[in-house]
Amino acid sequence: MAKFEEGLRYSESHEYIRVEGEYGYIGISDYAQHALGNVVYVDMPDVDDEVTAGEEFGAVESVKAASDLISPVSGTVVEVNEALEDKPELLNEDAFANWIIKVQLSDPSELDKLMDVEAYKAHCAE
C-alpha cells in the first residue's frame, strides 16, 4: 500500500516537491516507486542545469521499466542526491526521504498547478 505525505505538492506524473523557502526538493512518490519495482539506476541532471515545468529532467530505471522524470516546476538545479548514484534502491526504501534533485524555484506560482495530497490520492485511485 502506497504512502502519501502531507505538505507536499504532486504532479500527474508522480513526482513530488517539498518546498523550503525558495528551494524545492523533487523526487518520486511512494506510489511511483511501488509501480516501478526495484530501482536499479537514477539518471540525474548536473548542478546548474535548468529544469522546466512539464519537461523531462532525468529517468528512473527499475528491473521492470524505465520511467522519465518530469519536473513539476522550473528552476536551477543546486544539488543532486549523490547517495542515489551508489544506492538507487534508497528510492524503494523511502521515496519521500530520498529526494532526487534540489532546485532553486524560478516561478513559485507554478506550485499552484500541482495537486495537494488529497487530490493526488484521488488521482492515484483512478
Q: Return mean pLDDT, the chain.
A: 97
Reply yes or no on whether the pLDDT at 81 is more than 90.
Answer: yes
Its domain, for residue 68, covers 11-120
| 80 inside domain | yes
Render pLDDT for 1-58 as a digit per residue (tens, 0 to 9).
899 999 999 999 999 999 999 999 999 999 999 999 999 999 999 999 999 999 999 9
Share of the chain above pLDDT 70, in %: 100
What confidence score (pLDDT) does residue 1 get?
82
Average pLDDT for residues 64-73, to the nearest whole number? 96
- What is the dihedral sign for C-alpha 79, 81, 85, 86? positive
Structurally, the chain folds into a number of domains equal to 1
| 5 inside domain | no
**CATH code of the domain covering residue 71:** 2.40.50.100
| 104 inside domain | yes
- Separation between Cα atoms, residue 26 and residue 41, nearest integer Å: 17
| 3 inside domain | no
Residue 67 backbone phi and psi in degrees, to 5: -135, 130
- Grid cell, residue 72, equals 513539476
